[in-house]
Amino acid sequence: MVIERILIFLLALIGFTAIVGAKNIIKKVFGLNILNAAVVLLYILEGSRIGDQAPILGKGVTNMVDPVPQALMLTAIVIGVCVTALALALAVRLYKATGSLEIDTINERLRSEH
């Protein structure tokens, strides 16, 4: 149905707005996660249109969903988590260095450094 995809589109847009517009760097990381989640949902939702049973072969399984997007998204989810972990570690380090989590303050304080 179209309404689900419109909702996913809005979710992606919200995530992207957070990345670009948010002042707090942790919120940017939130936005990245939301954007990732939206795309994962998109793949799996669309892949499930062609069937209605889980993609595990067995007795009575005749109409399974497309397993390819699910396999791809496994990889994408893990990569998203790893990048988030790295981003959060960098954010903690920036906080320790400048005492602030706002991107403008961080820029100012680091600019005056050597």
Partner 1 sequence: MKRTLFIIKITFTLLVLALAIFPVILSSHPWPEASRDYLYEHALTDTGAVNTVSSIYLGYRAMDTLGETLVLLVSITGTMGILINLGRESEEEEAVSFSLAPEKRPTNAQRTHLLEVVSSKLGPVVLLFGFYVMLYGHISPGGGFQGGVIVASAIVFLALGTETQTKLTNTNVLGRIEALSFLVLIVAATSGVFFESGFFGNPIKSGSSLSANFIILLNIIIGLKVGTSIAVMCIAMMGGRRGH
Partner 2 sequence: MSIESLFLSPVYLPMLGAALILVTKHFFTDRQRRAVEYLSALIAFIIPLIAFIFLIKPVLAHHQVHMILGTWETTLGIHYHFDGLSFLLITINLLISIPVWLYSRKTGPHQETFTIIFLIQSASIAATSLTADLFNLFVCLEVMGVTSYVLVASSEKNKAILSSFTYLIFSATAMVFFLIGTFGLYRISGSLAYDTIAQAKNMLSGSDLLVARLSLVLIVVSVLLRTAVIPLSGWLVGAHSNAPHAVSALLSGVLIKIPLFALVRLLLLVTGTELLGSILAWAGGISTLLGILLALREHHAKRLLAYSSVSQIGYIVTAYGLALASGIETEEGALLLALSLLYAFSHALAKATLFMTVGRACDAVGSKDLHVARGALSALRAQGERFPITGIAYLVAFLSISALPPTIGFWGKNTLVYLSKGHGSTYFLSITSVLTIVVYLKLSGIFLPKKAQEVQKVEPSSTALTSLSLIFLTILLLAGGLWYTDLQTFVVQVLSPLGATNATLTSYSALQDLLKTGFTTTIALLFFIIGSKTRVERRFEARRESTASFPNLFFGFALMVAVMAWWLLFPGEAL
Q: Write out the residues near partner 1 by the rule CB under 8 A.
A: 2, 5-6, 8-9, 12-13, 16-17, 20-21, 42, 46-47, 49-51, 54-58, 64-68, 70-72, 74-75, 78-79, 82-83, 85-86, 88-90, 92-93, 96
Angle between helices 25-47 and 67-98 (to 10 degrees): 180
Give the one entry of partner 2, partner 1, none that residue 103 binds, where binding means its C-beta sits below a cut-off of 5 to 8 angstroms depending on kind. Answer: partner 2
Binding residues for partner 2, how many (CB under 8 A)? 38
Q: What angle do CA 84, 88, 89 make, to 5 degrees?
A: 120
Residue 102 phi/psi, 5° resolution?
-90, 135
Kindly calculate the radius of gyration of the chain based on its CA atoms and give it in whole angstroms: 19
For 70, counting Cβ atoms within 10 Å of its Cβ (0-12 exposed, 13-18 middle, 19+ buried), the class is middle
Among 43, 48, 64, 65, binds partner 2 (CB under 8 A): 43
Amino acid at 26: I
Asked whether position 8 contacts partner 2 by CB under 8 A, the answer is no
Binding partner selected for residue 27 from partner 2, partner 1, none, CB under the kind-specific 5 to 8 Å limit: none
- Which CB atom, from 14 or from 86, has the smaller least distance to partner 2? 86
